[in-house]
Structure 1
């Protein structure tokens, strides 16, 4: 079987890569939502799909690389992530034959080299989603499938609104609008089989539990324009008071808007 990879530099996304590398050892302990969403994405894969080579795009700790390896046992599996720390964690656990550092916007794979691109809760970190779709179209074989889950506007809205009430700075990661996903997928040159978004709400006993989890996932604030330095005690107390307005019987809510997309390359 021919080697599917190309050489070449990666775009400079060192901050995202470093954040998720630091989170590699703690990620699985707090990744209940990530496992649920990835499981839902697996369930949405076409039943007729029988790939010879699959790619887990943004594989993280390799949880779904191992699931794909079990599902498509005879296929060659490739696990790819921008964070070297995640790959170091995933590699000894197996699931894929190859573990590769790479960027979804500039995949180090040859043209028409994969039958399935699976990506769960990774592509929200890509600024150029049109480039991601273009790369998917390039590396997929005819009949191949891109299956992704991502996040859109409405995610962590309670935290965003609470910070807005305190100081107006950017403290929460920005996400695309669902309408942007719709337009970009429609313009991708891939056949859109399904695209929808679903609400997921997690509850926490206090704000510290939420912020600790986001840090353990590596998904705390990575936006340009975020405030520097330590957050003052007065601002933290104001944030706590603002977030308490959202409290429900099960605890403080954290809303997620999850996008699920299935696309196929026709020719």
Structure 2
């Protein structure tokens, strides 16, 4: 059985945070672009597909999917992201919706592509159940996500300062393994890969997280502004991790391809 998953943010907070970040997101989304491109490479060969970009964000991969398969559908919880994506095209329909309760008919899709979105879903078993429901036999769910250990450098640096939750917590990779194995979908591929970004200083890292809409959204985070003394203490702790390339920020990325049995 999967271990108890960490508490996840309120969906309204997630939607509001990413809606606010829609205008700045593309300029700082290098990790999201790289991970999404690696996920595209992992897609099985499909001559054509009725597809859904699940958690489409600003629609970058919606447009790439359309180039490969023709126009499909895109869904996101954040209406602000959809307002950004719609004018750029790629999908016949841009839908405001929840991955845990898809507003789609049974067996209506051949492919669900989801890049770095489902880590925000508290009930991942429901996400898998919805994929099972809306995919036709032989249909494919391909997703990337983040798991425990992500931003470990920032977490450990904060632990030297105080006991609050300052860094988003994600479910363990073992949870993904167990939930995918029990989903009724065939697991074609499931792996975890670490990817490290480097920043010149702490301010650049925290600004990047804020502009992505991915700053701390977890229950247990401290209220109000963080005082300058704590920021200085955090920066001093983080400096101990500096490499020749800068301050490291490591993401534990999950890649998965699942198929609905024929």
TM-score of the two chains, using structure 1 as the length reference: 0.93
Answer yes or no: is 1:22 the counterpart of 2:20: yes
In structure 2, C-alpha distance between the alignment counterparts of 1:51 and 1:263, rounded to whole Å: 18
> Corresponding residue for 2:64?
67
> Corresponding residue for 1:113?
108
Instruction: Determine helix, strand or coil for the equivalent of 2:160.
Output: helix
Answer yes or no: is 1:235 the counterpart of 2:230: yes
Answer yes or no: is 1:124 the counterpart of 2:122: no
Q: Where in structure 2 are the equivalents of 1:48-87 lying within 5 Å?
A: 49-73=46-70, 76-87=71-82
Shift of 1:196: 0.2
The match for 2:33 among 32, 35, 40 is 35
Shift of 1:53: 1.1
CA-to-aligned-CA distance 1:206-225 (integer Å, 9 cap, x gap) = 00000000000000001011
Q: List alignment gaps of at least 5 residues for structure 2.
A: 1-9
Shift of 1:123: 0.4
Q: What is the count of residue pairs matched by the alignment?
A: 253
CA-to-aligned-CA distance 1:75-96 (integer Å, 9 cap, x gap) = x400000000000000000011
> Corresponding residue for 1:102?
97
The match for 2:188 among 182, 187, 193 is 193
Conserved 8 A contact 1:51-1:116: no
Instruction: Determine helix, strand or coil for the equivalent of 1:172.
Output: coil
| Cα-Cα RMSD | 0.9
The match for 2:168 among 167, 173, 184 is 173
Extract structure 1 runs of 4+ deviating beyond 2 A: none
CA-to-aligned-CA distance 1:58-103 (integer Å, 9 cap, x gap) = 0000000000000112xx4000000000000000000111100000
Conserved 8 A contact 1:166-1:235: yes
> Corresponding residue for 1:46?
44
TM-score of the two chains, using structure 2 as the length reference: 0.95
Shift of 1:52: 3.5
Instruction: Determine helix, strand or coil for the equivalent of 1:166.
Output: coil
Shift of 1:18: 0.4
Conserved 8 A contact 1:104-1:132: yes
Shift of 1:154: 1.3
Instruction: Determine helix, strand or coil for the equivalent of 1:213.
Output: helix
CA-to-aligned-CA distance 1:145-165 (integer Å, 9 cap, x gap) = 000000011110000111111
Q: List alignment gaps of at least 5 residues for structure 1.
A: 1-11
In structure 1, C-alpha distance between the alignment counterparts of 2:179 and 2:237, rounded to whole Å: 35
Instruction: Determine helix, strand or coil for the equivalent of 1:197.
Output: strand
In structure 2, C-alpha distance between the alignment counterparts of 1:176 and 1:256, rounded to whole Å: 13
